[in-house]
Amino acid sequence: MECREVRQLADSFVSEQLLVETTHAVLAHLDRCPPCRREVEGLRRLRAATRSAFEGAPYLSADAGFAAALTSQLRAGAARQQTAHAPRRLWLAIAASVLLVVGAGLGWREWSAASGISALLHAAVGDHRFCALTFKLAETPISLEEAARRYGGVDGLLETVEPSTPILTGGPMRILERHSCVFDGRRFAHIVLSYKDETVSLLVTDDPHPGGAPWGKFARKSDTTSALPVTDGFHVASFRGARHAVFVVSSLNAADVQEVAEAMLGPVSRALPEA
């Protein structure tokens, strides 16, 4: 099994939804591939952090009346299916699954938002890894100017963005490259930076939930940006525009990534005031 196949199966693997034979093939690959092993472990940590955060968010708790009404409807549906000789266990499984979600405080809308954020976070980290570090993208990057001409959007507005503080506590930060690239079907405006001799990616993409709550409760807020959980072995910080999400990704420690994000927050926000 190749790395690409393992990455495609990672969510199902962590959720224990794969066939036994496929699970064994993934495990065999992970035994000999440290990068994929780190990616799977990062996914496990992200899922655990997301679940824990939503379970601890009082404002997402289901209304007691709604839970009671839903239980009643599910029982009635199970009874009708039983009369029609349908397998009763199917309805009980559905009821248990839905009540588990309700009990955890995840309404359908919140669950969907959390899934979207998780996928977006992994796409941003994947773009950093396979564009800025290893150059293994399926589609060749193009200039920000070309991307703006072909697809519209905000890419061209980032051509002249520079850090608000080019000298940080760890020394100078430099912009190495700017381009537009695609990872996992999502297009990013990608600014590649160097800080402390490490590569840092600043990635701008469409926000799947514009105007919504900032990255759920699993984001740890600083004064200006949000620190997201370690993902696939990389530290991530983020901030948002009106309709765009911005990620800063690197193997630097969390404090350094946060510092880079805060140095880029003002310039990027000014470049995209209404975007």
Q: Could you write out the DSSP letters of every residue in 107-173? A: -HHHHHHHHHHHHHHHHHHHHIIIIIIS---SS--B-HHHHHHHH-SSGGGGTT---S-SEETTEEE
What is the β-pairing status of strands 171-183 and 198-206? unpaired
Q: Determine contact, residues 38/71, Cβ cutoff 8 Å.
A: no
Place of tokens 């507005």: 157
Could you tell me which CATH number the domain at 137-271 has? Answer: 3.40.1000
Q: What percentage of the chain reaches a pLDDT higher than 70? A: 73
- List the chain domain ranges: 3-55, 62-104, 137-271
Q: Give pLDDT tens digits for 92-138.
A: 555 555 554 444 444 434 444 555 678 889 999 999 999 999 888 98
Residues for the chain: how many in total? 275
Helix (H, G, I), strand (E, B) or coil at 239: strand
Q: Determine contact, residues 206/245, Cβ cutoff 8 Å.
A: yes
Q: Give pLDDT tens digits for 17-75.
A: 888 888 889 888 988 998 888 888 888 888 777 777 666 666 556 566 666 777 777 77
pLDDT confidence of residue 35: 87
Structure tokens at 43: 């996914």
Q: Give pLDDT tens digits for 75-87.
A: 777 666 655 554 5
Q: Give pLDDT tens digits for 128-171.
A: 999 999 888 989 999 999 999 999 888 999 999 999 999 999 99
pLDDT confidence of residue 60: 57
Average pLDDT, the chain: 80
Other Cβ atoms closer than 10 A to 77:
14
Q: Give pLDDT tens digits for 187-231.
A: 999 999 999 999 999 999 998 776 655 555 445 544 478 888 888
pLDDT confidence of residue 62: 59
Looking at residue 14, what DSSP letter applies?
H
